[in-house]
Amino acid sequence: MFYKNEKPAILMFQDGRYFQGIGFGATKIVTGELVFTTITGAGYNETLTDPSYQGQIVIMTHPLIGNYGVPPWEKDEFGITKHFESDSIKVSGFVVNECCKEPSHYESVKTLDIFLKEQDVPGIEWIDTRAITKILREEGVQIGLLAVYNSGETPNIEELKEIVKKAEDPNLRHLSSEVSTKEVKKYIPPNSLGRVVVLDMGVKLNILRNFVQRGVETIVVPNNYNYDKIMSYNPDGVFISNGPGDPAVYKETIDVCKNLIKNNIPTFGICLGNQIIGLAAGGTSYKLKYGHRGGNKTVIHLETKKCYITTQNHGFCVKDFEKGGFKEFLKNIDDDTNEGIVHETKPIFAVQFHPEACPGPFDSLYLFDKFLENMELSKNAA
């Protein structure tokens, strides 16, 4: 398999099974949770920089990745980085069938290989991603290892088996602390129509862009902010962001949401935010066998029966939130898992998918407008 001038690479499961391929990006050994996404060949830059992938080795099911290269680190008129979902690559490792070496796009400034090298992230190609995905679908996501060597080196399989045996489950870590902002950030559009405080559990930048584009002053605060510190900004609404890891780990944020519910504060949650609000309502969370990751996941609105194609990236789900006054209003068509909750009487709702898309369809952008309507109605009722 290995060629004279190529970098040897190994992808290994925790039980010692392994696939060999050719390395690109950084030369190093990493461990993490092996997950796959069905996002197409358009969207790999956003996938790589999505904070929800912190601690994970991501397998792309689309066969060719990198065909339009990597754009520059530019900012839009609001000061928010374009093209990427955070300020760095967040995946621990990247697994593709083929990495394009000669991309073609007028905005491209580098190849995927160079991008991963700059960010010190290893990648592996010429590997059977279909076979790997089938294993994860049948057995569930699991801990694994990705090793990339310099050309001419020979992988020590027995040594790698010992390393992967001792690898920790990243979901046991407080992953949000690793990706959340460490300082308050403010995005203030002209003629502000309101103020939202974003509790940054690992927020994607296109979520912030959707708020600012709608004329909303957006204040991003670290994940460890408590209820009083959040409310000191006098927000018209509070947003609980997406992020990595097990929602049950984030006890402080669950307490924040309990107070938001108690005090009728207009609140909107996405992905991890949906799970945390559900836990604050008295629900329970559980891990999905292989998660929902991709840009073509179908959900149905239980009242209107309207279907939406959505972008998703989560490994956990929430249930039994009805005791806290919430009801389910969106459900996954494939497996009937929860895709959205709304309070029966209060201006609080959340969705399990990513309505901001990027990459993905724009079917659910209306949810941002719904949140702003809730903020306005609450303000007028005060």
Report if pTM > 0.95.
yes
For the segment 137-166, what is each residue's pLDDT rounded down to a tens digit?
999 999 999 999 999 999 999 999 999 999
Q: Please check whether residue 66 is in contact with residue 43, taking contact to mean a CB–CB distance below 8 angstroms.
A: no
The neighbouring-strand residues paired with 94 are 58, 123
Q: Which pLDDT band, with edges at 50, 70 and 90, does 5 fall under?
A: confident
| Domain 7-171 in this protein, CATH class | alpha beta
CATH 3.40.50.880 boundaries in the chain? 175-381
CATH 3.50.30.20 boundaries in the chain? 7-171
Residue 206 clears pLDDT 90, i.e. is over it = yes
For the segment 215-272, what is each residue's pLDDT rounded down to a tens digit?
999 999 999 999 999 999 999 999 999 999 999 999 999 999 999 999 999 999 999 9
Distance CA 164, CA 226 (A): 37
Q: Which pLDDT band, with edges at 50, 70 and 90, does 4 fall under?
A: low
Position 54 scores a pLDDT of 98
SS (H, E, C) the chain: CCCCCCEEEEEEECCCCEEEEEEEECCCEEEEEEEEECCCCCCHHHHHCCHHHCCEEEEECCCEECCCCECCCCECCCCCECCCCCCCCCCCEEECCEECCCCCCCCCCECHHHHHHHCCCEEEECCCHHHHHHHHHHHCCEEEEEEECCCCCCCCHHHHHHHHHCCCCHHHCCHHHHHCCCCCEEECCCCCCCEEEEECCCCCHHHHHHHHHCCCEEEEECCCCCHHHHHCCCCCEEEECCCCCCHHHCHHHHHHHHHHHHCCCCEEEECHHHHHHHHHCCCEEEEEEEEEEEEEEEEEECCCCCEEEEEEEEEEEEECCHHHCEEEEEEECCCCCEEEEEECCCCEEEECCECCCCCCCCCCCHHHHHHHHHHHHHHHHC
Position 226 scores a pLDDT of 98
Q: Which pLDDT band, with edges at 50, 70 and 90, does 3 fall under?
A: low
Position 359 scores a pLDDT of 79
Q: Which residues are catalytic?
A: 271, 354, 356
Residue 2 clears pLDDT 90, i.e. is over it = no
Q: What is the mean pLDDT of residues 50-61?
A: 98
For the segment 339-370, what is each residue's pLDDT rounded down to a tens digit?
999 999 999 999 999 999 887 888 999 999 99
| Domain 175-381 in this protein, CATH class | alpha beta
Distance CA 337, CA 356 (A): 20
For the segment 266-278, what is each residue's pLDDT rounded down to a tens digit?
999 999 999 999 9
